[in-house]
Amino acid sequence: MSALSLSGVGKVFNPGSDQEVRAVHGIDLEVGRGEFVSVIGPSGCGKSTLLRLIGDLTPPSAGTVSVNGKTPARARLDRDYGMVFQSATLLDWRKVAANVELPLEIMGMGEAERSRQAAAMLDLVQLGRFAGHYPWQLSGGMQQRVAIARALAFKPSILLMDEPFGALDEMTRERMQAELLRIRAETGTTVVFVTHSIPEAVFLSTRVVIMSSRPGTITEVVDIDLPEPRSYETREDRRFFDLLTKVREGLRAVEAS
Amino acid sequence: MSPNTRRVLSVLGILAVLVAVWEGYKWMGTATGGVWPGTGVELPVRTNERSMPHTWDVVIALLRPARRGGDMLLLVLLKAALFTWRSALLGFVLGSAVGFGLGVLFVRSALAERGLMPHVVASQTVPILAIAPILVVWAGRLNVTRWLVVAVVSAYLAFFPVAINTLRGLRSPDATASELMRSYAATPNQVLWKLQVPAALPYLFPALKIAATASIIGAIVGELPASMPDGLGRAILNFAAAFSAAPAKLFASILVASLVGIGFVGVVVLAERMLIPPSRRLEDLEAAGPRGRDLKEVVA
Ligand SMILES: Nc1ncnc2c1ncn2[C@@H]1O[C@H](COP(=O)(O)OP(=O)(O)O)[C@@H](O)[C@H]1O
Ligand SMILES: [Mg+2]
């Protein structure tokens, strides 16, 4: 059973009105356990919508989504998803540790276990020292790491990330990418990752999904057969550059059409 | 100089300026015989002792017996203020609770908001002077203690700003935060208490400050039709009737009434200081909405 299975999935916003938008259309995609799939495409092509369909934040207009063999709604209630968005969206009245504990509180975990788990997650993103800080005392990159720790807190089987590093500077971004790969290696979480950066998609992923706009649909899937574990050297690998070119050409074909 | 010292000094400074303007105007009017200097144009307000007592006469009046052989006026007024404040405090608590409840109801149910909001707004355009006697008569039948009725009049004014700002505050978290809560499979109650209410607190306090002053006004006005002999309302009415004979007493009661209001707001400010860290405190103008923000830009 794959972690994610989409068949014929489409989404129309405001159907029938003059503001009708066909956001995504005819999406077929299988994602295996532990895979890291990036979705890349021109802005407005429906990447976020695709992620929201998977995460049960919006219902599909057509087709079926199945998550670990369940409906997205069931998967959400079973807390199969961890979500990270472009903005960290930490609650500013809660300290860092309390932010990470929030999902655990909501699932009804006891206080002692909760704080143990939050501490472990903060160690995972190497922010253990900042447990007692308030979010506004942290840099943007650190806040985003807290958001990742929070998303991983209840050990979701799928991590949905929508341009999580989009607001970070290049140096921080590369550090965060390395960190994310390390975390994934430790947790075995399946990741669906939306980005508009070609190097980011190639460096992180096992597969890159290229989407076109109007209607948003998958035009090409590129297998990324770079050696694991990825490291600083990966970015200097010939194969890395070949794959960058391949994805870039795929995107250019989309934008030309 | 610490910011607090500076604040106290600026308040005292402005008080001094106001006193100086009052006394200066009075002095000028007395010198010119009630006209603008060099012209024959009459001053808008007469400057004789009947219209404008000296500021120090107001203070002196506070320290004299209210009536021959009786207690000091200040004492009489403070007693009355305490009495009024009891109704106002209950009205404030009652009104704030109702306002908060309405905010929660509105954020939960668009239908309730659409149906009730116009009535809530309309309730505040009806003069409280008309509402108060109705409530007093109704409650009279029910045999409720009168100061409780006054509290209800006071709550009638206090609930409104709290309802509006609670709603604004409960709506303030951005969509992403709500989606995160959804992804945690949070119940509506969990969303309310863990996300919306904490987010609303900074919006709540500016409304509570307004509610505090409104509840005092409501209590004073409510005392009149309830013919309560003991509160500030009656005292003000009495001194207003005797204004031309003893103007300083009316000004003195205004002074005390406003001090009570300021004291009440001060309590709310203290509560805000204790509960909301500085980084989350909203400027009052900002909390007043987009118009408030514009105002703030004009001020800045
Ligand atoms: N809630 C919505 N209502 C109406 N249209 C929407 C909504 N969300 C997204 N869209 C539209 O769907 C299209 C795809 O949006 P989105 O998935 O956000 O694209 P991307 O993330 O690739 O930039 C856009 O044209 C956008 O305007
Ligand atoms: Mg997007």
| Domain contains B16 | no
Are A164 and A206 within one domain? yes
Beta bridge partners of A212: A217
Residues A144 and A45 in one domain: no
pTM to 2 decimals? Answer: 0.86
Residue B40 lies in a domain: no
Counting the structural domains of chain B, the total is 1
B186 close to A (CB below 8 A):
yes
Residue A256 lies in a domain: no
| pLDDT beyond 80 at B282 | no
Contacts of A69 (CB under 8 A, 6+ apart): A1
Does A240 have pLDDT greater than 50?
Answer: yes
Summarize pLDDT for B175-217 with one digit per residue, the tens: 999 999 999 999 999 999 999 999 999 999 999 999 999 999 9
A43/A127 same-domain check: no
Taking only the tens place, the pLDDT of each residue in A95-134 is 999 999 999 999 999 999 999 999 999 998 889 999 999 9
Total structural domains within chain A = 2
Asked if B194 lies within 8 A of A106 by C-beta distance, the reply is yes
Average pLDDT score, chain B? 88
A151 and A165 together in one domain: no
**A64 and A188, same domain (yes or no):** yes
Paired sense of beta strands A36-40 and A207-212, if any: parallel
Query: Among B84, B78, B82, which Cα is nearest to B256's?
Result: B78
Residue A45 alpha carbon to ligand 2 centre in Å: 8
CATH of residue B141: 1.10.3720.10
Contact B175, A93 (CB under 8 A): no
pLDDT tens column, A137-148: 999 999 999 999
Average confidence score pLDDT of chain A: 93
Is B291's pLDDT higher than 80?
Answer: no
Structure confidence at residue B293 as a pLDDT band (50, 70, 90): very low
* Residue at A62 is within a domain: yes
Q: What is the pLDDT of residue B146?
A: 83
Which pLDDT value is given to residue B298?
A: 41
Residues A22 and A128 both lie in one domain: no
Query: Which is more confident, B298 or B57?
Result: B57
pLDDT digits (tens, 9 = 90+) for B85-137: 999 999 999 999 999 999 999 999 999 999 999 999 999 888 888 888 888 88
CA of B259 to nearest chain A CA: how many angstroms apart?
34
Is B15 a member of any domain?
no
Give the integer Cα–Cα distance in Å for B50 and B36: 19
Using the beta-carbon criterion (under 8 Å), do B194 and A102 form an inter-chain contact? yes
Burial A197-209, CB ≥16 within 10 A → b, else e: bbbbbbbbbbbbb
- Mean pLDDT confidence for A78-83: 95
Q: Confirm or reject contact between B279 and chain A (CB < 8 A).
A: yes
| B194 interaction partners in chain A (CB closer than 8 Å) | 102, 105-106
pLDDT per position as a tens digit, B30-70? 888 888 888 888 888 888 888 889 999 999 989 988 888 88
Under DSSP, the state recorded for B72 is B
- A23 and A12 belong to one structural domain: yes
- State which residues form the domain around B275: 81-299
**Mean per-residue pLDDT, B147-165:** 92
pLDDT at position B243, please? 86
Say which range, A105-119, A201-215, B227-241, B275-289, has the weakest mean pLDDT.
B275-289
The model's pLDDT over B73-97, given as tens digits with 9 standing for 90+, comes to: 999 999 999 999 999 999 999 999 9
Supply the range of the domain harboring residue A52.
Answer: 4-80+157-251
Closest residue in A to B200 (Cα–Cα):
A93
Same domain? For A229 and A115 the reply is no
A162 and A241 housed in the same domain: yes
Query: Which ligand 1 atom sits closest to the C-alpha of A162?
Result: 21
Q: Say if residue A108 is in the same domain as residue A220.
A: no
Using the Cα atoms of residue A126, residue A129, residue A133 and residue A136 in order, give the sign of their dihedral.
negative
